[in-house]
Every structure is written in C-alpha cells, then in structure tokens.
C-alpha cells in the first residue's frame, strides 16, 4: 500500500479533508494529514485565504515541507486547492516522490524549478467551470503539465463549484467527489 501525505485547502483541516484521508486509510494506505493552519479552520474560503496571505504563502508551503521531512521520502503527495502548493513542490523537488494528486489547483511547473520529474506520475482533478481552477488559469497549467509529463492525467467533471470534494462544505458535489475518490484509489493502487 502507498504512504500518502495530504495537504488541506484554504478553509483549513476540515472534517471533509479528514474524512477523505479516512477513506484512503480504509483502503489500506498509510495517510498523514498535517495541519498547515496550526488548528485554525475558517468558515469562509476568503477568511482562510486571508489567513494564509497574512501568515505568508511561503510559510504555509514551509509547514508542508517540514511535515514531509519527518516522513519517508517515498510518498504520494495530495493537495486540495491551496494544499496543491506544498504537494506540487514536494512532488517536483523531493527525491523519492512516488506520485502526486493535485485536486482543484495546479501551478506552473516552473514555479518549483522546471520540468516535472519523469518518474513521478500525477493526476489532476477539477470542475470544468470552477471559477478558481478554470477562471484563474490552473486548468491551463494542468493541461501543460499533462502534455509535458511522462505519466499525467487531467480529469474534468461538470460543475462550477470550488472545493467540491469536501463533504463538510456547502460546495460538495457527491457525484464528482465519488469519481475523484475512485480514481485516486486506482492511482494509489498502481503506485503501491
């Protein structure tokens, strides 16, 4: 089974992120879920992103990197929205990465030093009309990554919400989230 490091989104470490991690554990994977907000959970995404901006996005990424340093190098990194920043950075730069699952965000590969590592498979998931994922250009970066990487897939689901995989938020989309979970488990099954 795979060892997985999951990074939460801008609301913080919500019950929905914890439940996602539990699903992976029930499938037999070892899952770590650090709290990048040091116990803070925000009711609105705007408040959470405001906190991340005040703390510094670099600080949030550094907290993710510090969490990874306590674990084996052979990890699959999962990031939800804001959590894609540390997940993608570690998948691209930390030797030993086994894979990456980027959910609802994707940043330019150049942000973390250039090419995607040939031996690191990646899946990217998002809604096809998400105002953040599509509206802010992340989907374009995801398409570029898929074109450049050896083993990369982009999955788009119908909908216009952000944070659609978190069942503790009003933006949850059960059908799309179920498909994401099935594909994530399939990905982890071939990595393990």
Ordered by start, the domain boundaries in the chain are: 3-191
| Tens-digit pLDDT profile for residues 141-167 | 999 999 999 999 999 999 999 999 999
Across the chain, what does the average pLDDT equal?
96
pTM above 0.75, yes or no: yes
Q: What is the mean pLDDT of residues 127-143?
A: 97
pLDDT at 192 over 90: no
Select the CATH number that applies to the domain covering 3-191 from these four: 2.60.370.10, 3.40.1360.10, 3.40.50.1820, 3.40.30.10.
Answer: 3.40.50.1820
- Asked if 42 and 17 count as a contact pair (C-beta separation under 8 A), the reply is no
Q: What is the mean pLDDT of residues 41-65?
A: 95
| Model pLDDT, residue 114 | 80
pLDDT at 57 over 90: yes
Q: CA-to-CA distance for 40 and 51, rounded, in angstroms?
A: 9
Q: CA-to-CA distance for 90 and 96, rounded, in angstroms?
A: 10
| Model pLDDT, residue 131 | 96
Q: Of 54-58, 125-129, 180-184, where does mean pLDDT reach its minimum? A: 54-58
Q: CA-to-CA distance for 19 and 150, rounded, in angstroms?
A: 31
């Amino acid at each position: 089974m795979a060892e997985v490091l999951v990074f939460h989104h801008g609301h913080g470490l919500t019950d929905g992120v914890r439940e996602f991690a539990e699903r992976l554990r029930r499938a037999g994977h070892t899952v770590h879920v650090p709290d990048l907000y040091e116990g803070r959970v925000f009711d609105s995404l705007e408040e959470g992103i405001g906190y991340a901006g005040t703390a510094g996005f670099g600080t949030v990424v550094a907290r993710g990197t510090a969490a990874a340093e306590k674990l084996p190098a052979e990890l699959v990194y999962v990031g939800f929205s804001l959590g894609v920043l540390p997940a993608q950075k570690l998948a691209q730069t930390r030797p030993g990465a086994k894979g990456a699952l980027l959910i609802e965000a994707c940043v330019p590969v150049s942000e973390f030093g250039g090419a995607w590592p040939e031996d690191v498979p990646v899946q990217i998931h998002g809604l096809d009309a998400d105002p953040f994922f599509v509206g802010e250009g992340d989907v374009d970066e995801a398409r570029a990554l898929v074109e450049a990487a050896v083993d990369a897939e982009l999955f788009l689901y119908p909908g216009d919400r952000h944070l659609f995989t978190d069942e503790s938020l009003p933006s949850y989309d059960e059908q799309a989230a179920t498909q994401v979970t099935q594909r994530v488990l399939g990905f982890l099954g071939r990595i393990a």
